[in-house]
Structure 1
């Protein structure tokens, strides 16, 4: 089985929740998983058999630290089984919940020098009360434009947890051939 680095960026904690679910699925498959926030101490992906990166969207963008990590470690990422997933509210729409149809995932792939072997996208959660005043107003405006919920009392989750588990299983299969200590 593989030793996997699961690096994530989460603003309000939902991408972290998704990352922890992925970690649990991978560990149930027998993989070792180090779950690390991109905002934490620097991590070297060379010590892992596979790398999975996940990031949420804040005000239309993934955390720039994710792209800096990728640029710094591109060569290593290109050599290993690797994947990326995006967590965003646009993915709440069935016509925008795949890597091929989600504008944030497509923009990430177009901008990134690294091309992950596996891509995923998951709907986020919407909890206006949790957001800062600035974020609440920006998100309400975006929701108004995209015909989403704008009531400031809204608290909805759009994550397909079965799809999260399927994605994790696929990544585990991809990482399984990584040639780790026992694989």
Structure 2
């Protein structure tokens, strides 16, 4: 099987997630190609891929424009072959915010016209060590709702076991 993983990342966590999926899929003897949606060119031929995984992070309640545009442009092909969506957000990791994470996926599916075979809501990361003052304040008071995370360190909320289980289940669905 030849799988294409297209990812959109802002701070690097979704790239890390896409790379983990690629490693797991290669470990099972399949071919995998990774594509950063920000580097997508219109001359890329997609027809030879047997399946697709789209991984996109959510910021300010929306998936990145590059990943949205890629899926919108190719939703017909994605709908005819096995495909899955990994939606990466802090809402997916925060207790009581799972409905928000699902809302972002529902909006993405509605906008793009694509119906993925499987969907995973996955927690992302906070990269305080890379934020400027204004980003840090935004995360602390808007995203974390006044919570007091330590801005001296980064936080990773990705459930790697859930990702591995998702990858296994997706591969089982495509034989």
Q: Per-residue CA shift, 1:87-106, capped at 9, x if unaligned? A: 111111244458x9633223
Question: For the Cα contact (< 8 Å) 2:91–2:101, is it kept in 1?
Answer: no
Q: State the secondary structure of the residue aligned to 1:45.
A: coil
Question: For the Cα contact (< 8 Å) 1:45–1:51, is it kept in 2?
Answer: no
By how many angstroms is 1:148 displaced? Answer: 4.2
1:179 alignment partner in structure 2? none
By how many angstroms is 1:40 displaced? Answer: 1.3
Q: State the secondary structure of the residue aligned to 1:39.
A: helix
1:64 alignment partner in structure 2? 65
Structure 1 gaps, min length 5: 177-183
1:90 alignment partner in structure 2? 91
2:136 alignment partner in structure 1? 136
Provide the alpha-carbon RMSD of the alignment.
Answer: 2.2
Question: For the Cα contact (< 8 Å) 1:91–1:122, is it kept in 2?
Answer: yes
What is the correspondence of 1:89-168 to structure 2 with a 5 Å cutoff?
89-97=90-98, 102-145=102-145, 148-168=147-167
TM-score normalised to structure 2 length: 0.87
Structure 2 gaps, min length 5: none
How many correspondences in the alignment? 173
TM-score normalised to structure 1 length: 0.83
154-163 vs 9-18, which moves further: 154-163
2:52 alignment partner in structure 1? 51
Q: State the secondary structure of the residue aligned to 2:113.
A: coil
Q: State the secondary structure of the residue aligned to 1:71.
A: helix
133-142 vs 28-37, which moves further: 133-142
